[in-house]
Amino acid sequence: MKSRIFSFLAIVSLLLVFTIFYKGLNKSSFYQPKIEVKNIPEFSAITFFKKEEVSSKNIFEKNKFYLLNIWASWCVPCKEEHHLLINLSKNDQLEIIGLNYKDNFKNAQNFLSELGNPYEKILIDKDGTKAIEWGAFGVPETFLVFQNKIIKKFIGPLNIKSVEEIKKIIQ
């Protein structure tokens, strides 16, 4: 009787361990926290062209959708998603704000003159601390903002599917 219970327990624990590891293997190793609707962080930053200090309160004040896109000229995936941002910038209901992440001004300027400028405003994040305020992991990353709340977060470059999703939300 005792050995039966023992073998039953052994099989159950083996199965349990197997399921845990099997599920763990299929899980992506890149962790993304669940995003509930969150307020945007309060911060101030220097604008890219005019070099003026602006507060986040004044940037997202209008009653429309905003897309905050973290980008850098040295980031290859940013180049890939850039034409999608240009496409989105034609939409009147959406204002695209750029956050230039740890970049060199001249390189960033070249990047924009070469690929186009989809941004209404560009803010500078020289040391990456503003991106941390937004809870970002790196570049590129995009946040859809409405009424001072982050309603959607896209980690990595935008693709056709995410652009469709954005268009659906803002309609």
Q: What is the binding site for another protein (CB under 8 A)?
A: 29-31, 33-34, 102, 127-129, 131-135, 137-138
94-101 vs 65-71, strand pairing mode: parallel
| Beta carbon nearer to another protein, 134 or 154 | 134
Q: Which of residues 38 and 167 has its CB atom nearest to another protein in the complex?
A: 38
The H-assigned helical ranges of 27-159 are 56-59, 76-88, 105-115, 129-133
Q: Identify the residue whose tokens are 């496409």.
A: 87
> Can you state the angle between helices 160-170 and 76-88, rounded to 10 degrees?
30
Shortest CB 127 distance to another protein, Å: 6
Minimum distance of another protein from residue 75's CB (angstroms): 10
Question: Least distance in Å: CB of 6 to another protein?
Answer: 12
Complex with another protein: residue 76 or 132, whichever CB lies closer: 132
Which two tokens mark 22? 């099997």
